[in-house]
Amino acid sequence: MSLIYELTQGHELARQLIAQLNAPSSSDETKEILAQKIEASYEKALSMVNCNANTSVATGGTNGMLESSASRCASPPSDDSDRCIGEPDASKKRKSGQPRWTQRVRVRPGMALEGSLDDGFSWRKYGQKDILGSKYPRGYYRCIHRSVGGCLATKQVQRSDDDPTTFEITYIGTHTCTNVASNLVSLPGTSDEKNQEQGPPPSMEHLCHNLKQSPQDLLVSFQKDLNVENQHLDQTYANSFPYIPSTSNSNVVFSMSPSVVDNNGVGNALPSGFISPATSRTNFSFPTLDGYKIIQGAPATSAMSSPAVGLDFPFQLDQNFTIDNNGFFPQGP
DNA sequence: TGTATTTGACCAGG
DNA sequence: CCTGGTCAAATACA
């Protein structure tokens, strides 16, 4: 359904664009929006095709079209949630018993890169490794509060081979730090303030442990305001993912690794502190289609480290790098 | 000068 | 033995 829909959507949008081009009264902004929607639509369609191929191999057959994006392939037979993305078997040295899930973030050239990949947590890079069979190296990050609060959360960031605009961010372990929220709340006024153009994003709070808003509420706003797709998340998972990506531009998809469920059970798979990230510590701004900007937050202290994920990779993108969100926004049938 | 990142070395699982 | 994951010294940066 989705693939055809996206193609049809792209076609229809193209027609609208033509109409706009012929209409002298239409604004450039409108045309640009249409153009971006078209691009997003086709990107999405291509992703579906690519991922479908992968999942077909992994699962022994497709189960119909991917619902909305390539990230649909979050249910491989093993606990390798990344495997569906074309990564070779990476089961070695996996921390058993640790919650592990993958988030796919797509970015597009010409848009804010850092913001799209960062997640609001404070990460420090501790390693990078070339992965066999992958064009791009994998970056290893750990929570910056590891030393202080003993937070053992780590994440791995890898650029997709098939789709260079997509990053697979695998989160391993849970955040046990309790002081993150304060950092984020005080985003403005940090050493990176020079990059800020507006206040902190609406959903930037770091909810490590001190979750004040119910996960469900967060999820709602997450989906509503940030145009994020939660896929393959049933209610239980939804409750386990209080995190809200901070960017309204990101196409973020979470995929729970089956291993989490196997090891811990669905209900306990993700402690409340386990938050899906998508914000940026480096104050970053990227324009959105609807005109206003979202500023990525930064930790208030000098302990800012969370690197712009995308910059860890040897690829070059426009300075202005925004997240591709339009195409993933519900546009109605 | 302090902090973050880079990168080669090391460790351990399969 | 190969590979992924981590460590830690070197380097870069503000």
Which residue is associated with the tokens 């909305």?
A68
| Closest CA-bearing residue to C1' of C7 | A126
| pTM for this entry | 0.48
Phi, psi of A59 (to 5 degrees): -105, -5
- What single letter denotes the amino acid at residue A105? V
Say how far apart CA A201 and CA A153 lie, in whole Å. Answer: 23
**pLDDT at residue number A178:** 56
Confidence of residue A106 (pLDDT cuts 50, 70, 90): confident
Q: Which residue has the higher pLDDT, A60 or A104?
A: A104
Query: Does nucleic acid strand B have an atom less than 7 angstroms from the CB of A90?
Result: no
**pLDDT at residue number A103:** 78
Spatial CB neighbours of A18, under 8 Å, sequence gap ≥ 6 = none
Separation in Å: B14 C1' and A88 CA: 15
**C-alpha closest to that of A166 among A87, A117, A230, A107:** A107
SS3 A172: strand
Helices (H), chain A: 2-22, 28-59, 113-117, 146-149, 180-185, 215-226, 235-240, 258-264
SS3 A266: coil
**pLDDT at residue number A289:** 30
pLDDT tens, position by position, A115-144 = 445 566 788 999 999 998 888 899 999 988
Query: Does nucleic acid strand B have an atom less than 7 angstroms from the CB of A166?
Result: no
**C-alpha closest to that of A247 among A208, A290, A212, A213:** A290
C-alpha count within 13 angstroms, C-beta hemisphere, residue A267: 0
- Cross-strand bridge partners of residue A254: A103, A230
Beta strand ranges found along A201-291 (DSSP E): 229-230, 251-256, 285-287
Give one word for A110, left, alpha or beta, with left for phi > 0 and alpha for psi -120 to 50.
left
- What single letter denotes the amino acid at residue A56? S
Separation in Å: B14 C1' and A96 CA: 14
Assess whether pLDDT exceeds 80 at residue A153.
Answer: yes
Say how far apart CA A151 and CA A164 lie, in whole Å. Answer: 31
**C-alpha closest to that of A196 among A122, A115, A316, A276:** A115
Q: Are A262 and A166 contacting, i.e. CB atoms less than 8 angstroms apart?
A: no
Q: What is the crossing angle of helices A28-59 and A2-22, to 10°?
A: 170
Separation in Å: C2 C1' and A163 CA: 27
Which residue is associated with the tokens 């921390």?
A95
Say how far apart CA A284 and CA A267 lie, in whole Å. Answer: 35
Q: What is the mean pLDDT of residues A94-110?
A: 70
Confidence of residue A168 (pLDDT cuts 50, 70, 90): confident
Phi, psi of A24 (to 5 degrees): -60, -25
Separation in Å: C3 C1' and A140 CA: 15
> Which residues 173-232 of A interface with strand B at a CB distance below 7 A?
none
Q: What is the DSSP letter of A165?
A: T
Q: What is the DSSP letter of A235?
A: H
**pLDDT at residue number A141:** 92
Distances (CA, A) of A15 to A24, A324, A328: 16, 21, 19
Separation in Å: B2 C1' and A301 CA: 13
Spatial CB neighbours of A76, under 8 Å, sequence gap ≥ 6 = A55, A58, A59, A83, A84, A258
> Which residues 58-97 of A interface with strand C at a CB distance below 7 A?
88, 90, 92-95
CB atoms < 10 A from the CB of A290, how many?
A: 10
Q: What is the mean pLDDT of residues A171-176?
A: 81
Assess whether pLDDT exceeds 50 at residue A310.
Answer: no
Confidence of residue A49 (pLDDT cuts 50, 70, 90): low
- Cross-strand bridge partners of residue A119: A278
Tokens of A219: 């999820």
**pLDDT at residue number A209:** 41
Assess whether pLDDT exceeds 50 at residue A270.
Answer: no
